[in-house]
Structure 1
Amino acid sequence: MTADRRWSDPLTPDEIAEVVALVRADVRIGANPRFWGIAVEEHLARSLADGQGRPVRLVVMNPDAHAAWEVTAWTSGIDRSASLGGWSAVDAKRPGVSSEEARMIAQAARNSPLLIDALAKRGITDMSLVSIDPESITGFEPEDLIDRRLSWGTVWYRETPDDNGYARPVAGLVPILDLETLEVIRIEDHGVIPMASEGGNFRSGTWGEDRAVAPLEITQPDGPGFAVDGHTVTWQNWSFRIGFTHREGLVLHDVTYDDAGTERPVLRRASVNEMYVPYLDADPTAYRKNFFDWGEYGAGPLTSSLELGCDCLGEIRYFDAYALDGMGEVKTIVNGICLHEEDHSILWKHVNTRTGEADVRRSRRLVISFFATVANYDYGFYWSLYQDGAIELEVKLTGILSVSGIDDGQKPLSGRMVSPNVQAPIHQHYFAIRLDPAVDGPLNRLVEVHAEVVEDEELNPYGNAVTMVPTVIASEAQAGRLADPTRALHWRIESADRTNRFHEPTAYRLSLPNTTRLFAKPGSTVERKAPFVGKHLWATAYDPQERFIAGEYPNQAPVSAEGITAWQEADRALDGAELVLWPILGTHHSPRPEEWPIMPVAHIGLRLEPDGFFTRNPSLDVPPSTSAHCAPGMDHGSHGHGSHDHGSHDHGSHDHGAHDDGAHGHGSH
């Protein structure tokens, strides 16, 4: 443990291993323990000096005894050895499912006579070509099995070992699985449906000769414009620290902006806190598909190594990530986090037609990203900082649609045909974001702003006057809000202490440019399981025990009993408080045939931008472009159309960034 390690840095392999070793020495965990995550207790660690050791919590299970515990501990520091604290019992059903646990139950299912017999009825006898994905069963547990740690399985068949594992669903077959005893309890068999007759491979050359694509090179001859010191990053007046947790994956800490020599805080913490994916199809092999991908599996261990493809371009700084796997071993995700700059088209521009002069500045952004592979789907999360003080989160959805089989001649009611005897159900993706704002200090308020026509005819004699109407969200009882683009609605996160030169509170504006609502009947399991998706923004007063919007242990939890809707009942004051904001990004996925056999990227996101935070445009000091593509004087004296826009997360080009580590990644799930 080095003295310069910051409290917010990701846990190191040594820290994880030393705490696990202490837990393993305790007899109560039995001979076959399983683990689900270790994380720093951030609210306690924040006040500690560097190098003192860090408080953590870890979850361990004894499947043979149907028991689980949450264990508190300290990592070693310059003045202390690693040690354990308390053991708190947890409902044994409810810790999340690790990839290792999933693989064990999948292998057990392939060996089960019940599944072997059911597949033989469908002409499938080579079990090495069968895949079983154990799925979370929260809200759909059979009543006679309610006390057991359960899963249910989706079953897939490959024609060859290198076939697309998600192209041929075995329809109508649902094994109910016990995760502790590793057995198939029973099989639901809804009848034999013909298998897909068409392949689903998407590798180069499968569907014809590759097209010609001209090379596109991204270079920075003088190196990147950012500086990295451990996990602290500075770039274009911005400063922040990179963290990583088992539950949320990438976390940004203490995001500040240097305004003429004054470090002004904007966010204390930012993360993707939860992901909920409900499938909206009554098909017997699809209706149970409802996942808390973070709370039931964990973003950390599902993080993909970015050296397995071309995810970032240019001068890149990678960060390895570390997670605790289900067997208690440290999992290294080589190049789990990517940091790089991008050109982002025009920052600002004006042509003076009277003088013929033009001023244009190109925008660049700093992007901090990671990818999580959740079985068939791949999700990219891109936090971007801009030179004008804006912050964006973009979520990119790609991978393979989760499909179901359909009988000959049938038409999907709640989906689309994507291949013969294969339908893709309608579903949704909800991303619950956690923002701990600190706009010009720790005490903030949330104000909702919308547009209204001025009805007073004396003030609006021509009928065209509009005003923006602010409403302070004073307490948690009011703090479940809906986005509404028809009213130009947005939210201001205001400082409770500082004002600008116009005597307004300094603030940042939060916008959710596109989102959706849940299309499920009130009272349905889908609706009750994740009530937080019923609003587009929640706000709470900071409480260190309220860490996750769906509750601490959503796996096999009672529906609608925990999480943010329960916290709101306290109705704590929010005006001038330490706030936590929970934006909900929801995308409604009505599949298209063009998204098969692999899905082009879909996008959703949010934007934070200064709103009275600065005196004027903070990017006035950005210099004109010196790119070779810009002719001399193009920024001053011409219309400046010569600069090419290179900014994109291009998945098809070569990656010219230097890898900090050369080993192969282990992050793909």
Structure 2
Amino acid sequence: MTSRIWSDPLTPTEIDEITALVRADARIGERPRFWGIAVEEGLARALAPGQGRPVRLVVMNPDAHAAWEVTGWTSGTDRDAVLSGWADVDAKRPGVSSDEARAIAQAARNHPLIVEALAKRGIHDTSLVWVDPESITGFEPEDLADRRLSWGTVWYRESVDDNGYARPVAGLVPILDLETLDVIRIEDHGVIPMASESGNYRSGTWGPDREVAPLEITQPQGPGFDVDGHRVTWQNWSFNIGFTHREGLVLHDISYRDGDVDRSVMRRASINEMYVPYLDSDPTAYRKNFFDWGEYGAGPLTASLELGCDCLGEIRYFDAHVLDGNGEAMTISNGICLHEEDHSILWKHVNTRTGEADVRRSRRLVISFFATVANYDYGFYWSLYQDGNIELEIKLTGILSVSGIDDGKMPSFGRMVSPNVQAPTHQHYFAIRLDTAVDGPLNRLVEVHAEVEEDDELNPWGNAVKMVSETISSEKDAARMADASRALHWRIENTENTNRFGESTAYRLSVLNTTRLFAKPGSIVARKAPFVGKHLWATAYDASERFIAGEYPNQAPLEAEGITAWQQADRPLDGAELVVWPIVGVHHYPKPEEWPIMPAHKIGLRLEPDGFFVRNPSLDVPPSEEAACHAPTGANGHDGHDHDGHAHVQHGSDDPHAHHHDHH
């Protein structure tokens, strides 16, 4: 087998050779189910290429109500694949695969209890019915507490190509056994009229398409990046592209070339978890709260970018490989997109005394993937900039998760989006995992905020402001809140290197979008995901602490695991291998304009060099070609520029603020 870098995504060959060994073990039974295989990164990082890679996966025997975490090694240049251990896992708690979800959905929609309930609503063709199994964590009925469960949302389509998520079957809640594929019981809260209006969003549904002039993006000399396997270099940046079952796209070993030196910035960056609580007491909505990554997995939910127009320009795609619920390697073609984008102005100044103007256009490298979670679609875009900035932009689109509402009523905890259709108020939280390595492996976290200088001798005019820094010394103090009113941000500092001004070299972290959980303390929603109660967490690196919500959050005990439990160790953070966990959040009060499909809503975070460089690192970016910037437009070809492409700039005054007007 070809040697692979430890952080490369697993290949179908590696997945298949491990699952073949697992299948040979009699304890998994005749109908095994699988959930996820991943490289043991903490161990793999220290190994030389060619030794094989340590992995773990989860396998379940639903007939025996049993599950195991299996560890092993993929084959290397001089060894075959091998299993190294089986550890028992609570059978309720592995994540739900798409295959398991399809199996229970198929069984549920034809179950006599659901068929009878649908008939009360005038629905007799169950082939047009969808049943989505939903996370039940925290809401398990007491008499079913030991079973692997789900609850179902039920939807109806008027035709095969209808938007099923536009027609909720209100009041109908089946409780599902995932192991036996049985409907245990039905909650029926009464018949409510179905949506009377189409929710289709396909081209031409609501009238003819508008006319749009072509916009072409060309790179005649090809892209500016180089790809060697999964190692990417672009401008001064370099990094490795990884992919996991739980998190989807992962970036490893991000560094920036400063002169002749590659300076590290980040060891690892990923979307570690997504939590979506719905804030509505409606009987068909109050259980809605999901760990979309921990309970389902970003990897298998990743969308293929083969169809559509997700990226433009000279694109490099990467396939993604995951383990499906039946134990087979599944390839997601074009799961990851790599491309360059123009991004407006990088920097600019007009010298009005001399008439000279200098401007540089910004270009960014974007690494992205999309995940479709039933009705919602989420795009994740990591962007690297020429000035050393890193941004994460999250785009929320797709279809709102809606509920039915009776004639003549208005929703108390949401908005009307269509007749008899309400969209509950809800939230989206994204826990980001950043294994920092700013200028080296040992970092500290510093919180910085603004204060008015109260000493009159230092501030005689009342306008002096000071920036106050607080080092977060240990984990118990590393649960922080953003506060724009105090210009609060965080610095990730190197504890060994300083710049020419004697400051620690650092990157600045700003969480651009935050909210708070509008649920009562002690509620299931609040206790399920205590990490959303803060906007930033930090821990000392531990290879076993992989996921902010814990290793197995599905039907997990509330508040018992994850980052709030890890922080009880109170490990020192000043000069540690630091892991920073920003929480990006949005409070979504729906709008009618977001129906029947939602225009992309954008949120994110930013990392900026802060004393990392000695000056603006993008001074070496060349000017754009004039012809590319000043192509004539309009009927007479005049666009306010001379024929040589230079802008008109009036000058000659010593007043830098002078404005001159031509009168033609």
Partner of 1:396: 395
Deviations 1:149-204 (A, max 9, x none): 00000000000110001000000000000000000000000000000000100000
Counterpart-to-counterpart distance in 1, 2:626 and 2:155: 51
2:560 paired with 1:551:
no
Deviations 1:362-396 (A, max 9, x none): 00000000000000000000000000000000000
CA displacement at 1:313 relative to structure 2: 0.2
2:315 paired with 1:316:
yes
Partner of 2:213: 214
Partner of 1:583: 582
Residues 9-158 of structure 1: pairs in structure 2 closer than 5 A? 9-158=8-157
Deviations 1:309-335 (A, max 9, x none): 110000000000000000001111000
Counterpart-to-counterpart distance in 2, 1:394 and 1:268: 19
Partner of 1:660: none
Residues 299-310 of structure 1: pairs in structure 2 closer than 5 A? 299-310=298-309
2:372 paired with 1:373:
yes
What secondary structure is seen at the aligned counterpart in 1 of 2:274? strand
CA displacement at 1:631 relative to structure 2: 4.2
Aligned letter for 2:82?
A: S
Deviations 1:554-586 (A, max 9, x none): 000011110000011111100000000000001
2:410 paired with 1:411:
yes
Counterpart-to-counterpart distance in 1, 2:360 and 2:150: 54
Partner of 1:592: 591
Kindly indicate whether the alpha-carbon contact (under 8 Å) linking 2:512 and 2:584 is maintained by their aligned counterparts in 1. Answer: no
What secondary structure is seen at the aligned counterpart in 2 of 1:296? coil
2:621 paired with 1:622:
yes
What secondary structure is seen at the aligned counterpart in 2 of 1:166? helix
Q: Provide TM-score, normalisation by structure 1.
A: 0.95
CA displacement at 1:273 relative to structure 2: 0.1
Counterpart-to-counterpart distance in 1, 2:146 and 2:627: 68
Deviations 1:605-638 (A, max 9, x none): 0000000000000000000001633249999963
Aligned letter for 2:185?
A: R
Kindly indicate whether the alpha-carbon contact (under 8 Å) linking 1:281 and 1:415 is maintained by their aligned counterparts in 2. Answer: yes
Deviations 1:18-55 (A, max 9, x none): 00000000000000000000000001000111121000
Aligned length: 639
What secondary structure is seen at the aligned counterpart in 2 of 1:170? coil
Kindly indicate whether the alpha-carbon contact (under 8 Å) linking 2:366 and 2:384 is maintained by their aligned counterparts in 1. Answer: yes
CA displacement at 1:514 relative to structure 2: 2.0
Deviations 1:239-283 (A, max 9, x none): 000000000000000000000010100000000000000000000
Counterpart-to-counterpart distance in 2, 1:99 and 1:513: 33
Aligned letter for 1:418?
A: V
Partner of 2:433: 434
What secondary structure is seen at the aligned counterpart in 2 of 1:629? helix
Kindly indicate whether the alpha-carbon contact (under 8 Å) linking 1:357 and 1:636 is maintained by their aligned counterparts in 2. Answer: no
Partner of 2:601: 602
Partner of 2:452: 453
Counterpart-to-counterpart distance in 2, 1:200 and 1:56: 44
Counterpart-to-counterpart distance in 2, 1:250 and 1:12: 15
2:465 paired with 1:466:
yes
Residues 511-550 of structure 1: pairs in structure 2 closer than 5 A? 511-550=510-549
Counterpart-to-counterpart distance in 1, 2:54 and 2:98: 26
Counterpart-to-counterpart distance in 2, 1:628 and 1:95: 58
Kindly indicate whether the alpha-carbon contact (under 8 Å) linking 1:359 and 1:636 is maintained by their aligned counterparts in 2. Answer: no
What secondary structure is seen at the aligned counterpart in 1 of 2:301? coil
Aligned letter for 2:240?
A: R
Kindly indicate whether the alpha-carbon contact (under 8 Å) linking 1:356 and 1:638 is maintained by their aligned counterparts in 2. Answer: no
Kindly indicate whether the alpha-carbon contact (under 8 Å) linking 1:443 and 1:577 is maintained by their aligned counterparts in 2. Answer: yes
Structure 1 residues 486 and 636: alpha-carbon distance in aligned structure 2, compared to 1, 3 A threshold: farther
Partner of 1:638: 647
Partner of 2:2: 2
Counterpart-to-counterpart distance in 2, 1:251 and 1:514: 21
Aligned letter for 1:2?
A: T
2:334 paired with 1:325:
no
Partner of 1:425: 424
Deviations 1:335-359 (A, max 9, x none): 0000000000000000000001000
Partner of 1:646: none
Structure 1 residues 639 and 106: alpha-carbon distance in aligned structure 2, compared to 1, 3 A threshold: farther
Deviations 1:198-218 (A, max 9, x none): 010000000000000000000
Partner of 1:294: 293
Counterpart-to-counterpart distance in 1, 2:20 and 2:165: 38
Q: Which has the higher contact order (CA 8 A, sep 6+)?
A: 1
What secondary structure is seen at the aligned counterpart in 2 of 1:407? coil
Kindly indicate whether the alpha-carbon contact (under 8 Å) linking 2:346 and 2:361 is maintained by their aligned counterparts in 1. Answer: yes
Aligned letter for 1:112?
A: H
Counterpart-to-counterpart distance in 1, 2:71 and 2:258: 40
CA displacement at 1:449 relative to structure 2: 0.1
Q: Percent identity?
A: 82
Shift >2 Å, 4+ stretches:
627-640
Structure 1 residues 627 and 37: alpha-carbon distance in aligned structure 2, compared to 1, 3 A threshold: farther
Q: Provide TM-score, normalisation by structure 2.
A: 0.95
Residues 489-528 of structure 1: pairs in structure 2 closer than 5 A? 489-528=488-527
What secondary structure is seen at the aligned counterpart in 2 of 1:556? coil
Kindly indicate whether the alpha-carbon contact (under 8 Å) linking 1:39 and 1:56 is maintained by their aligned counterparts in 2. Answer: yes
Counterpart-to-counterpart distance in 1, 2:560 and 2:603: 29
Partner of 2:190: 191
What secondary structure is seen at the aligned counterpart in 2 of 1:241? strand
What secondary structure is seen at the aligned counterpart in 1 of 2:58? strand
Taking only aligned residues, the RMSD between alpha carbons, in angstroms, comes to 1.2
Kindly indicate whether the alpha-carbon contact (under 8 Å) linking 1:8 and 1:243 is maintained by their aligned counterparts in 2. Answer: yes
Counterpart-to-counterpart distance in 2, 1:472 and 1:111: 59
Query: What 5-or-longer segments of structure 1 have no aligned partner?
Result: 641-669
Counterpart-to-counterpart distance in 1, 2:109 and 2:269: 41
Structure 1 residues 353 and 37: alpha-carbon distance in aligned structure 2, compared to 1, 3 A threshold: same
What secondary structure is seen at the aligned counterpart in 2 of 1:594? helix
Partner of 2:344: 345
What secondary structure is seen at the aligned counterpart in 2 of 1:300? helix
CA displacement at 1:110 relative to structure 2: 1.4
Counterpart-to-counterpart distance in 2, 1:158 and 1:502: 66
Counterpart-to-counterpart distance in 2, 1:489 and 1:78: 51
Counterpart-to-counterpart distance in 1, 2:512 and 2:272: 19
Counterpart-to-counterpart distance in 1, 2:76 and 2:625: 48
Kindly indicate whether the alpha-carbon contact (under 8 Å) linking 1:357 and 1:637 is maintained by their aligned counterparts in 2. Answer: no
Kindly indicate whether the alpha-carbon contact (under 8 Å) linking 1:358 and 1:636 is maintained by their aligned counterparts in 2. Answer: no
- Which of 1 and 2 has greater Rg? 2
Aligned letter for 1:638?
A: A
Counterpart-to-counterpart distance in 1, 2:513 and 2:202: 32
Counterpart-to-counterpart distance in 1, 2:14 and 2:323: 11
CA displacement at 1:308 relative to structure 2: 2.0
Kindly indicate whether the alpha-carbon contact (under 8 Å) linking 1:357 and 1:638 is maintained by their aligned counterparts in 2. Answer: no
CA displacement at 1:457 relative to structure 2: 0.3
Counterpart-to-counterpart distance in 2, 1:618 and 1:120: 68
